Each structure stands twice: as C-alpha cells, then as structure tokens.
Amino acid sequence: MSANTSPLADKSTSVPTPADVHPLDRYFGVSRRGSSIRTEILAGVATFLASMYIIVVNPAILAEAGIPFSAALSATVLISFMSSLAMGLYARNPILVAPGMGMNALFTYTLVLGAGLSWEVALGCVFWSGVLFAVLAVFNVRKAIIEAIPASLRYAITCGIGLFITFIGLKNAGFIVGSEATLVTLGSFDPGLVTFFIGLMATAVMVILRMNGALILGIALTTLLAAPMGRLWGEELMVEWSGLAAWPDFGAVLRVDILGALKVAYLPFIFVMLFTNFFDALSCFMALSESADLKDEDGNPRNLKRSMTVDAFASMIAAPLGTSAAQTFIESGAGVAQGGRTGLVAVTIALLFLPFLFLSPLLSLVPAIATAPALVLVGLFMLSPIGRIDWGRYEEAFPAFLAIILMPLTYSITLGIAFGFLSYVLIKLATGKGGEIRLAMWVSAALCVVLLATT
C-alpha cells in the first residue's frame, strides 16, 4: 500500500499546523499547558474577583498617610494593570501583581505615622527597595539569601503582618478603642460597631463557602448596611454620594522624593521593605508552582527569574505612580484552581483593572467600617504559615514569637522584625551556635541596631 492510500493519510483530524493555532495559544502555549483560551480567561476573572478588594482597601490605607484617596486609587489601578500585564507577557505566569497588603500597612503606619516621614519620602524608600530588589532578581542571588534567613523568621513575619492588619481593621471599625486603664478595650455598641460586626460575619460566611469575590462582596454589603447611618439612625454620616465616574487623578504621580530617602536613618526601612517584598514574592511563586505544577524541567518554579524581575520593577514603578510597593498576590491561586496555567490569566486580570481608573467617585463611597472586615480576614489568611514554625525548638520559636507579637503591640512591622532578628542572633551567640549565623543575618542585625538607635 502506498503512502497516498494509507488510512492514516485520509484522516482529517491530523495535528494542527502553526497557521491553524490561535495567536494567543501560540504565544502563551495554552494548549501545550493542558488548558484552553476560555479556561485561561475565566481563571483571570476568578483571580480578579478574589483580589479586587485592593482597589478600595489600598487607597483607604494610603489616605491615612496623606495621599488623596482618588490619587491613590489611580496609582493602584495603574500599577496593577502595568505589572500584571508584564507578568503575563514577559514572565508568562498566571500571577497577579498589585499593591500588597502588609506593604501598604508598613508604608502608612510605620514610615509615615510612626516614624514621621512625609509620604513623598516614604515613596522614595519604596523606590530604593525596588532598586535593590531588581539587583537581587537580575543577579539571581535568591538562593544565598534564602539560606541565610531562617524559615521560622520568614513565616513569623508573614504571620505578624497578618495580626497587625487585623488589628488595624478592628481599630478602623471602632471595635477596638484606646483605654487609659487597659490600653485597649472593646468599643461601644453603636450603629457603626453593629454594622461592622454584621458585615464581618457575612464576609466570613462567604469566605467559608468559597464564594468568588467574597471580600469585595463583603465590602459592598457592609457599605449598603452603612448607607442609612446618619440618615435613619446614628449621628455620623458614613456613606455620601459624590458621583459615578471622573477622570483619573494623577496628583500623586512623580511626587516621590528619591533623594530625600537617601539617609542612613532610613536604611532599615528600605531593608524591611526589600526583605518583606522579596520573600513574599518568592514564597508566593513557590506555593503556586507546587499547587499547579508550574515548574520547569529542573523542578523549580517556572520562569522564576523573570517573575521576580517583574515584581522588582513593579515596586520601582509603584513609587513614581504614588503607591506603596507592588507584590505578587497569593489570591492568584483562585485562578490557578480554575485551571489557569499561562500568562493569559495575568493579561486578563490586567485588562479587568483598567475600567476602575475612572470610578474613583463611586468607590469613594466605601467607608472605613466597610473595608475593615476585609482587613480582618486578610489577617486570617496571612496566619496560615504559623503551623510551619517548629514551636518545640525554642531557639527558633522565641525569635519568631517576638516578631509576631510585637508587630501589633508596638504598632510597627519594622520593630517586630528588628527584635525578631536581633533575638535570633543573640540567642545563637549565647548558646554557642554563632557559626550558624550567615552573612545576610549579620547585616540584618546591624541594620536593626541602626533602626533601634534612631527610633
């Protein structure tokens, strides 16, 4: 039988030629990853719904530092669009990059309200931390840094920031207030507190039921519950209509004070931002690569160097735009769980952010008590690594414990990290294990001493 008369030659379902493959599939390798264009787009929508709360929450936190809400919102949307687009097109990973929780708290409550920096200088610190992050990413020195910082402290910092963010949410809602007798106490049961508690319980139920967009739905519900306040009950007007749409506010663009941030006293702040962002990005990439098998032929997270580079340059760009550092979002797992495997997911997310650039009047309706439930639950999510700390090894557990507990109690992420690092070094020296301390930890401890001496 000749080749022309072979049964196989008559099949019409042969392998598609490159010309038959959709351009998106050809660029992102969608089918090669076992996915489809439809699945990738739906995965992008899922991640966006899980993380779009940042559009409201980030400006609300930065507004406490003095950045106008509308300007911070424009910056949040722009950096989320640009960095997620870069993650999709350059790193080709299904990961969202946006201004992160923890970084915005560090910016507002530690640098500006705590240390007294102007928000312009604080943005300068964000910029320089991004520069250092970019150097680390380009020269691929992640392995040396990972080995230098003990895992217990890395987990502790995430947990401590989570508790700190929860504390901020409870304070913003009036659930926790100051007290001369006990430092803090429960707030009075006024309409605002009742509204917050109902919103918190409803949001928690939606999270437990794994509803898509549970946090943003909780914010919307709590805003609706707060709308009658000051009108039907209560004395304070919580929600006030100021319009549906407006042109973006670029009032914070290029307000960064790059030279003003170059002071020795600010080096610990820059280092803490670098440390937090670097390890958050790395842990996020590793977690997602494990859960979705996003690995290369060597078993490492896929396109890790490119992904870290995108994250680093996103932090640099965030400062000139007028927001705290951008970082990878673990909420990207929502899209991965939907089957997302390629950069098309991140491109979809980026495009979904853009319309909100023009909706700052509508989003400014959201009061602090409406974003507070989201802050409390974000704290819950960030506490997940606490089980990875070996609490039976006190030489590891004690520094981790200090870092976790001191962040909310001192109202400072930086101080929690400083005492955690210093106690680790001192305990190792006192127990005759100074040889286990690596160079990066010595440098970290030195920076912590500088920080405490200038506080």
CA 252 to CA 330: how far, in whole Å? 27
pLDDT digits (tens, 9 = 90+) for 21-69: 788 888 998 988 888 999 999 999 999 999 999 999 999 999 999 999 9
Which residues, given as ranges, of the chain have pLDDT below 50?
A: 1-15
299-315 burial, b if ≥16 CB within 10 A, otherwise e? eebbbbebbbbbbbbbb
Read out DSSP for 207-243? HHTT-TTHHHHHHHHHHHHHTTBTTTBSSS-------
The DSSP secondary-structure symbol of 323 reads S
**Extents of the domains making up the chain:** 33-236+259-372+385-454
- pLDDT of the residue at 18: 57
CB distance 158 to 105 below 8 Å: no
CB distance 267 to 117 below 8 Å: no
Which residues lie closer than 8 Å to 79 by C-beta, 6 or more apart?
Answer: 98, 99, 314, 317, 318, 321, 323, 326
CA 41 to CA 144: how far, in whole Å? 37
- pLDDT of the residue at 13: 44
CB distance 156 to 400 below 8 Å: yes
pLDDT digits (tens, 9 = 90+) for 360-407: 999 998 999 999 999 999 999 999 899 999 999 999 999 999 999 999
Residue in this structure with the two tokens 């949410």, named with its chain if needed:
169
CA 174 to CA 428: how far, in whole Å? 42
- pLDDT of the residue at 263: 93
CA angle 339, 307, 302 (to 5 degrees): 55
- pLDDT of the residue at 141: 74
Cβ burial of 5 (10 Å; 0-12, 13-18, 19+) is: exposed
CB distance 235 to 209 below 8 Å: no
CA 43 to CA 122: how far, in whole Å? 35
Strand partners, 229: 233
| H helix or E strand, kind and range, residue 452 | helix 439-454
- pLDDT of the residue at 3: 44
Measured in whole angstroms, the distance separating CA 11 from the mean position of its chain's CA atoms is: 51
Tokens found for residue 446: 């030195």
Q: What is the pTM of this model?
A: 0.85
CA 320 to CA 316: how far, in whole Å? 8
